[in-house]
């Protein structure tokens, strides 16, 4: 079975393909060259479905899309869907990290819990023998926010996210370790389980 992944990021396509194929032999993930939809949803689920539906409509092939971000308990779950643009116009990873640390400056360590969340939506277009259908899964990577950046691997908020069970940031983990533990890997494994049961 083939799926289109609604992203122009070749690395993400390879990651999805590798994890799904190892769990579900015969499944492959293809890149997407269609239009980028406007992510106008108010949740990870809504944005993931917006992207999956557009890709399925454009290609006529079952389509996957993910939406993810960092959710900080002390900020009522923010930055959430705004993670990549938390510091406003022209946001960069370093500006987003600096702003988040400033917002949490007075928050004691015991209240700095956070989670990376990833929702994967799947849109199956209608066929002659079956109606259109959709499903979604979620992966959650719990942890906490450090007081200063640490590590040189990863991107985004990785330098200030300390995964549960660790004393170092996600940016200090090697790529294989991070890819095994991450919210996206957890969501992809859950997707493989759901598709295998379908």
pLDDT in tens, 135-193: 999 999 999 999 999 999 878 999 999 999 999 999 999 988 888 899 998 998 999 88
Active-site positions read 67
**Cα dihedral 41, 43, 47, 52 sign:** negative
Can you give the pLDDT at residue 25?
A: 82
Please, is 165 exposed, middle or buried when counting C-beta atoms within 10 Å of its C-beta (0-12, 13-18, 19+)? Answer: exposed
Residue pair 182/141 in contact by the 8 Å Cβ criterion: yes
CA distance 36 to 43: 18
Give the pLDDT confidence of 45-96 residue by residue, as tens digits.
999 999 999 999 999 999 999 999 999 999 999 999 999 999 999 999 999 9
- Coarse DSSP helix, strand, coil percentages of the chain, rounded to the nearest 5 percent: 40, 25, 35
CATH of the domain at 66: 3.90.950.10
pTM confidence score:
0.92
3-state secondary structure 63-128: EEEEEEEEEEHHHCCEEHHHHHHCCCCCCCHHHHHHHHHHHCCCCCHHHCEEEEEEEEEEEECCCC
Write the burial class of residue 189 (CB in 10 Å: 0-12 exposed, 13-18 middle, 19+ buried). middle
- Contact yes or no for 25/2 (Cβ under 8 A): no
Residue 155: which domain range?
2-197
3-state secondary structure of 12: helix
Confidence band, pLDDT 50/70/90 cuts, at residue 198 = low
> HSE-up of 37 (CA within 13 Å, CB side)?
22
Count the domains in the chain.
1
């Amino acid at each position: 079975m083939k799926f289109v992944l609604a992203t122009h990021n070749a690395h993400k396509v390879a990651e999805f393909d590798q994890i799904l194929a190892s769990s579900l032999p015969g499944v492959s993930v293809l890149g997407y060259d269609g239009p980028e939809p406007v992510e106008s949803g108010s949740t990870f689920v809504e944005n993931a479905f917006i992207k999956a539906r557009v890709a399925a409509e454009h290609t006529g092939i079952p389509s996957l899309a993910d939406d993810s971000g960092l959710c900080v308990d002390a900020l009522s779950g923010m930055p959430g869907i705004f993670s990549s643009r938390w510091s406003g116009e022209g946001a960069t990873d370093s500006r987003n990290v600096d702003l988040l640390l400033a917002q949490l400056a007075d928050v004691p360590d015991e209240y700095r819990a956070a989670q990376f969340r990833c929702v994967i939506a799947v849109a199956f277009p209608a066929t002659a023998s079956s109606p259109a259908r959709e499903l979604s899964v979620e992966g959650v990577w719990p942890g906490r926010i450090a007081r200063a950046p640490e590590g040189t691997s990863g991107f985004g908020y990785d330098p200030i996210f300390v995964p549960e069970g660790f004393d170092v940031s996600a940016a200090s983990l090697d790529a294989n370790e991070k890819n095994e533990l991450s919210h996206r890997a957890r969501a992809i494994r859950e997707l493989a389980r759901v598709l295998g049961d379908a």
